[in-house]
Amino acid sequence: MNRLLTTILCILVLSITGCSVSDYNIPASPIEIPLIEDTLQHDNGLERVNATVLYVIDGDTYEVLTEKGAKFKVRALLVDSPESTKEVMAWGLESSSFTKQLIEGKKVILEYDKGERTDKYNRHLCYIYLEDGTRLQDLLLRAGLATVRYVYPPNTTHLDWLKSQEKIGRQQKLGVWSIPYYVNADGSYNSEAVAASNYERDLTKDGMIVASELIEHQVEGYIDDTLGPQGGELVDQLIGDQIEKGITDGIKSIIDSVFK
């Protein structure tokens, strides 16, 4: 009887609240990242160094070996990925894994900008290009696995373009943008927003359970009184399987309307 009772009450509540399944906001899934413009095909006069990535430390920091034998750490210029080493932040592990698949153990081209070449930790500040000429920063931003951050002129040659790539990930609510208020205005990350999102998710699950129990309690008596116990069971057997998905979507819409 549970599925039939749930469906009936869902229909009643949806008709009152005006909610529909389409109102339930499901964040977009990561998409395939196509090749982009503004890559090594353009000679901008910036110094470039050939290297091999020995190890990916996290989404924006790597250890490389140049073709001349120099070994050092590189910090991806103008972007910031969530932490995944000392502190594991939301989407940090995904950013690190994404980057490892792209560049670890592979040849890259490092490009320095016009300003400071290293940061206070003596990491080289570079744009990183894959062998096909695609810039790593662009891919991280488009996938929502990094934000534009640490902007210090004159290291801003590609800043406008990188902002446009970040906008793509933000508009599609990918990665870090899938968590409301996770990204601050300066591109840093707000861990409290993650905790709030997790709390709302768990509360929503609890609400769905309570809603199902309430539905059964309120409607079961009416169905049995109207159709009789045997009639109610027969109706449930005939249409229960067909409406199972509609039940889940209906309850989600109801709960979502409460939290908005």
Sign of CA pseudo-dihedral 49, 51, 54, 55:
positive
HEC sequence for the chain: CHHHHHHHHHHHHHHHHCCCHHHCCCCCCCCCCCCCCCCCCCCCCCCEEEEEEEEEEECCEEEEEECCCCEEEEEECCEECCCECCCECCCHHHHHHHHHHHHCCCEEEEECCCCCCECCCCCEEEEEECCCCCEHHHHHHHCCCCEECCCCCCCCCCHHHHHHHHHHHHHCCCHHHHCCCCECCCCCECHHHHHHHHHHHHHHHHHHHHHHHHHHHHHHHHHHHHHHHHHHHHHHHHHHHHHHHHHHHHHHHHHHHHHC
- Give CATH 2.40.50.90 domain extents, the chain: 48-172
Contact call for residues 118 and 125 (beta carbons, < 8 A): yes
Residue 3 annotated to the active site: no
The catalytically annotated residue of 3, 123, 135, 142 is 123
Using an 8 Å Cβ cutoff, are 173 and 162 in contact? no
**pLDDT tens by residue, the chain, 260 residues:** 444 444 444 444 334 334 332 332 323 333 344 444 556 666 678 999 999 999 999 999 999 999 999 999 999 999 999 999 988 999 999 999 999 999 999 999 999 999 999 999 999 999 999 999 999 999 999 999 999 999 999 999 999 999 999 999 999 999 999 999 999 999 999 988 877 666 555 555 555 555 555 555 555 556 666 766 666 666 566 555 555 556 566 666 665 665 55
Catalytic hit among 83, 94, 111, 166: 83
User: What is the per-residue pLDDT for 31?
Assistant: 37
Question: Which token pair is 114?
Answer: 């016009």
The pLDDT value recorded for residue 42 is 65
192 is catalytic: no
Q: Of the residues 3, 75, 135, 142, which is catalytic?
A: 75
Q: Does domain 48-172 have CATH number 2.40.50.90?
A: yes
Residue 123 annotated among the catalytic residues of the structure? yes
Confidence at residue 100, expressed as pLDDT on a 0 to 100 scale: 97
- pLDDT score recorded for residue 201: 56
- Residue among 185, 182, 209 nearest 198 (CA): 182
